[in-house]
């Protein structure tokens, strides 16, 4: 398979899709992880003498120009990180863009405006994809975070240009792909988060792959109900209790050690100042809700993580944004930092958790994809990756 490195890029116009969909606070980039993750590809292209045209979305402006969704600040941050100028344009198509692209010198970098200002982007409109393609000679997709979207700049454009993956996309697919296809064992997955609904596909798929599956977070109370426990006022998805039962059955059939919380920290309201106590999962009374795994569960999960060779983590163990309910997630994060296992963080909230508990640099891989890494772990083919097939 051809990669970026097989192409002679000198003097070529390269349309490079990145995922600069970064968190913003007070009009500034508040977390530049995704921008930093795109640097190797951008620097490589520039050093090869390519004329680099960067494209990204930011937020969900739904086909309208929204001032607070401009990529101006992301462009500034990129220029700082690269230590060289980045020409940020206020549009992503049209005569002005064409003019700037035609004036671009070898190795120079230009950043288009948020591509989601066009309605056709999310619709994967072929006319828009053609307009983007007409700007360039080559398409490089480095937007792993957006690879689960079949949009004009993530998929459609590949119809009209030689298309290859960038270094970030390649690394994400390598690490996640190897974990799922040829894992070191014991292989442990930790799945948390609020809802079973969001994790059905990933739990189902991982039960075919892992040795141990650790469950925590809001979704664990639906599993508690499946085990026949009363859960007081804890979060529950009544319509997913049977599904949780079927996962418990599937784990047995597949010989997977499915670990469910044995104790939980409950609170008398969803608040940082609530009264709290630790109870066994079988003992949650009315008027109390579980908001974190308990210390016995944390200890059990720590020991499983310690004895693993590979651990993938997606979803927090409790409401870790609130100090009284952060302990479970913190202990899992620290166990991930201390284990000798290869550790993968599947993006989103778990990535935020390892940042918060200051163990991010101890992880072997933190995915830049939230939805994308989840869909990958569900075993789905990502449209942004599929589009590159046979296009180089």
Nearest distance, CB of residue 198 and ligand 3PG, angstroms? 13
Q: How far apart are CA 155 and CA 141, in angstroms?
A: 9
Look up 348 and say whether it is catalytic.
yes
Catalytic residue among 13, 34, 51, 225: 34
Report the residue number, 233 or 375, with the smaller CB distance to ligand 3PG.
375
Nearest distance, CB of residue 60 and ligand 3PG, angstroms? 5
**Is 36 within any annotated ligand binding site?**
no
**Is 57 within any annotated ligand binding site?**
yes
Binding mask 125-164 for ligand 3PG (x = CB under 6 A): --------------------xx--x---------------
**Is 6 within any annotated ligand binding site?**
no
Residue 232 near residue 286 (C-beta atoms within 8 A): yes
192 makes contact with ligand 3PG (CB under 6 A)? no
Nearest distance, CB of residue 193 and ligand 3PG, angstroms? 14
225 makes contact with ligand 3PG (CB under 6 A)? no
Q: How far apart are CA 46 and CA 17, in angstroms?
A: 15
Nearest distance, CB of residue 150 and ligand 3PG, angstroms? 11
**Is 8 within any annotated ligand binding site?**
no
374 makes contact with ligand 3PG (CB under 6 A)? no
Structure tokens that stand for 240 in this block: 């997913």
172 makes contact with ligand 3PG (CB under 6 A)? no
Report the residue number, 149 or 265, with the smaller CB distance to ligand 3PG.
149
**Is 321 within any annotated ligand binding site?**
yes
Look up 331 and say whether it is catalytic.
no
314 makes contact with ligand 3PG (CB under 6 A)? no
Structure tokens that stand for 175 in this block: 């690490």
Look up 217 and say whether it is catalytic.
no
Nearest distance, CB of residue 276 and ligand 3PG, angstroms? 32
Look up 34 and say whether it is catalytic.
yes
21 makes contact with ligand 3PG (CB under 6 A)? yes
368 makes contact with ligand 3PG (CB under 6 A)? no
**Is 68 within any annotated ligand binding site?**
no
Residues 48-67 that bind ligand 3PG (CB under 6 A): 60
Applying CB under 6 A, which of residues 7, 9, 15, 19 lies at the interface with ligand 3PG?
Answer: 19
Nearest distance, CB of residue 146 and ligand 3PG, angstroms? 5
**Is 20 within any annotated ligand binding site?**
yes
Cα radius of gyration (the chain): 23
370 makes contact with ligand 3PG (CB under 6 A)? yes
Q: Rule CB under 6 A: which residues touch ligand 3PG?
A: 19, 21, 60, 145-146, 149, 370-371
User: What are the residue numbers of the active site?
Assistant: 34, 195, 348, 371
């Amino acid at each position: 398979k051809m990669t970026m490195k097989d192409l002679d890029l000198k003097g070529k116009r390269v349309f490079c899709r990145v995922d600069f969909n970064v968190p913003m606070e007070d009009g500034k980039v508040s977390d530049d992880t995704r921008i930093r993750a795109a640097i190797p590809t951008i620097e490589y292209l520039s050093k090869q003498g390519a004329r680099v045209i960067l494209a990204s979305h930011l937020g969900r402006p739904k086909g309208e120009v929204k001032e607070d969704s401009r990529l101006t600040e992301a462009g500034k941050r990129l220029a700082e990180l690269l230590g060289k100028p980045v020409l940020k344009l206020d549009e992503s198509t049209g005569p002005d863009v064409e003019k700037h692209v035609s004036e671009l010198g070898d190795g120079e970098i230009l950043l288009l405006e948020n591509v989601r200002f066009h309605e056709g982007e999310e619709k994967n409109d072929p006319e828009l994809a053609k307009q983007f393609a007409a700007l360039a000679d080559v398409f490089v997709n480095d937007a792993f975070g957006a690879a689960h979207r079949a949009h004009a700049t993530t998929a459609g454009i590949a119809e009209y240009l030689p298309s290859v993956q960038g270094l970030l996309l390649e690394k994400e697919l390598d690490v996640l792909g190897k974990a799922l296809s040829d894992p070191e064992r014991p292989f442990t997955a930790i799945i948390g988060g609020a809802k079973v609904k969001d994790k059905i596909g990933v739990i189902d798929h991982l039960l075919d792959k892992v040795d141990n599956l650790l469950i925590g977070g809001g979704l664990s109370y639906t599993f508690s109900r499946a085990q026949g426990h009363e859960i007081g006022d804890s979060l529950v998805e009544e319509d997913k209790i049977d599904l949780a039962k079927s996962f418990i059955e599937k784990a047995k059939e597949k010989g997977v050690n499915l670990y469910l919380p044995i104790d939980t920290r409950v609170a008398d309201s969803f608040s940082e100042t609530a009264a709290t106590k630790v109870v066994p999962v079988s003992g949650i009374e009315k008027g109390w809700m579980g908001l974190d795994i308990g210390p016995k569960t944390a200890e059990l999960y720590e020991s499983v993580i310690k004895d693993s060779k590979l651990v993938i983590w997606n979803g927090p163990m409790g409401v870790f944004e609130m100090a009284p309910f952060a302990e479970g997630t913190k202990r899992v994060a620290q166990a991930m930092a201390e284990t000798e296992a290869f550790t993968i963080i599947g993006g989103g909230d778990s990535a935020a958790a390892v940042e918060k508990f200051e163990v991010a640099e101890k992880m072997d891989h933190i995915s830049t994809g939230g939805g994308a890494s989840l869909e990958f772990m569900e075993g789905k083919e990502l449209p942004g990756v599929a589009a590159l097939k046979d296009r180089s």
